[in-house]
Amino acid sequence: MNLSNLKPKEGSLGREKRIGRGQGSGHGGTSTRGHKGAQSRSGYSSKQGFEGGQMPLQRRLPKFGFKNPNRVEYKAINLSTLEAIAAKGNLKAIDLETLVAAGMAAKGDRVKILGKGAITAAVEVSANAFSKSAAAAIEAAGGKTIVL
């Protein structure tokens, strides 16, 4: 292959469809718009979800579900993650600022410590919530849990 034998991809170049240029164009008469109806007229623009007067899908299907406005969302962090953070920074206390600095949580997040993994370092952990297994494991390792 070189510059002298480059060609466009097969089927990528088609002739422009010249509408409204009489019978000789092959699109004469209705200019590819079919016969009568709103879509054949000038100025027509379809509304989103309009199905030609048929009951639209979003109205045929029932409403369902419920979004609880009072839901409290927690960012879950496991003991194995705490162990890694404590070992990396040689820390004695882990709080929300430490977790934000480590990239494990965002500034406004509520954090819950979960019991997956193991922790050997005796660290003082501050979080919004703890699972029972996580709290037991932290205290068994000689650490402390502080619920914010």
Over 90: is that where the pLDDT of 1 sits? no
The 10s digit of each residue's pLDDT in 52-90 is: 889 999 999 988 889 999 999 999 999 988 888 888 878
Q: State the pLDDT confidence band at 95, using cuts at 50, 70 and 90.
A: confident
User: Six-digit token pair at 60?
Assistant: 């045929």
Query: How many Å apart are CA 29 and CA 140, to the nearest integer?
Result: 86
> What is the reported pLDDT for 55?
94
Question: How many secondary structure helices (H) and strands (E) does the chain include?
Answer: 4, 6
Residues 84-110: what's their mean pLDDT? 86
> What is the reported pLDDT for 8?
93
DSSP alpha helices (H): ranges in the chain?
57-60, 79-89, 96-101, 132-140
Query: How many Å apart are CA 38 and CA 52, to the nearest integer?
Result: 9
Domain extent listing, the chain: 17-65, 74-147
> What is the reported pLDDT for 74?
93
> What is the reported pLDDT for 131?
92
Over 80: is that where the pLDDT of 144 sits? yes
DSSP alpha helices (H): ranges in 13-122?
57-60, 79-89, 96-101
CATH of 74-147, one of 3.40.50.460, 3.40.190.10, 3.100.10.10, 1.10.40.30: 3.100.10.10
Q: State the pLDDT confidence band at 143, using cuts at 50, 70 and 90.
A: confident
Over 80: is that where the pLDDT of 106 sits? yes
Which residues, including other chains, have CB under 8 Å from residue 115's CB and lie 6 or more apart? Answer: 78, 79, 131, 132, 133, 134, 136, 137
The 10s digit of each residue's pLDDT in 24-50 is: 999 988 999 999 988 899 999 988 999
Q: Please give the angle made by the CA atoms of 38, 41 and 43, to the nearest 5 degrees.
A: 100
Q: What is the pLDDT of the chain when averaged over all its residues?
A: 89
> What is the reported pLDDT for 61?
92
Query: How many Å apart are CA 39 and CA 23, to the nearest integer?
Result: 21
Query: How many Å apart are CA 78 and CA 130, to the nearest integer?
Result: 10
